[in-house]
Amino acid sequence: MDIKSVGVVGAGQMGNGIAHVMALAGYEVKLNDISQDALDAAMARIEKNMARQVSRDQISEDDMTAALARLSPTQDLPALGGVDLIIESATEREEVKHKIFDTLAPHLAPHTILTSNTSSISITRLASRTDRPERFMGFHFMNPVPLMQLVELIRGIATDEATYKTCLGIVERLGKTAASSEDFPAFIVNRILIPMINEACYTLYEGVGNVASIDNAMKLGANHPMGPLELADFIGLDTCLAIMNVLHDGLADTKYRPCPLLTKYVEAGWLGRKTERGFYDYRGETPVPTR
């Protein structure tokens, strides 16, 4: 199928990045969010990030101008129904995603492919609530989307080969690399990454090391570009906890039990960079460990 138009649901950190790369690749993009403030912030961020690419000679001024002209923000979710491909990138809560697809259902074109940018939720289960499970799959981008090379493609049990090949072609057109995953909790990247972060939380919780020593140990001892607690703050502690709960519930293995300290930080509203406090306090000139 020849994809020409894309609808992105959710204008947050992931959604605006997806809209950014899709518009640059030549797709007509409708970016949806329930909040006009979120849409305004997303459009400003996309323009700022594209301007940075221009300054680094990664794209031309003409590329930027053309891409921005292909972007249309809207609060009207049903307006996305006529596009060729929809990428849902709302909050990582299954009931929210079901509600989005239920709202879209009466307005979808017969050929529209539905996808979710979920980082952990069952694609088969999401697809089963729609009228087109064969044209539904997981389309999981990494953050930050314009910089990260990988896209996980996740087939549900009913996803047909034509849908998979269409999405694979989009990934290639974006200049990114696809990794195909089976539909099991957290897929590939987060099945490995988030338990590592959870184990770093346990290491902190049990007093084995403080925030600085844990992050420095992994940066200097394992050559990771970011320490696991710094990375957790970047991802969002609420997202990390949600993925651990999906793993724990979906696989019923005690090794995926979320660390109580991670839960406590989320309960406190200390979610990382987006709230200016997490394992680090970001309210000053430089981040300061909170433990």
> Of these residues, 32, 116, 190, 198, which one is catalytic?
190
Catalytic residue among 16, 140, 181, 198: 140
Flag whether 13 is marked binding. Answer: yes
Asked if 100 contacts 107 with a C-beta cutoff of 8 angstroms, the reply is: no
Active-site residue, 49 included: no
The structure tokens listed for 179 are 């990794």
Query: Catalytic residue at 47?
Result: no
86 contact partners, CB below 8 Å, separation of at least 6: 6, 7, 8, 9, 80, 104, 108, 112, 113, 114, 115
Instruction: Tell me: is residue 176 an annotated ligand-binding position.
Output: no
- Does the annotation flag 92 for ligand binding? yes
CA distance 240 to 251: 16
Of 146, 67, 76, 124, nearest in space to 104 by CA: 76
**Does residue 95 have a known ligand-binding role?**
no
Please check if 244 is assigned to a binding site: no
Closest CA to 149 of 170, 127, 178, 180: 178
Q: Which of 32, 120, 122, 152 is catalytic?
A: 152
14 annotated ligand-binding residue: yes
CA 156 to chain centre: 18
Active site residue 140: yes
Give residue 5's identity as a one-letter amino acid code. S
Catalytic residue among 16, 116, 119, 122: 119
Count the neighbouring beta carbons within 10 Å of the beta carbon of residue 260: 11
210 catalytic residue (yes or no): no
Find out whether 236 is annotated in a ligand binding site.
no
33 annotated ligand binder: yes
Annotated binding site for NAD(+): which residue ranges?
10-15, 33, 92, 97, 119, 143, 274
Binding-site annotation, residues? 10-15, 33, 92, 97, 119, 143, 274
* Active site residue ranges: 119, 140, 152, 190
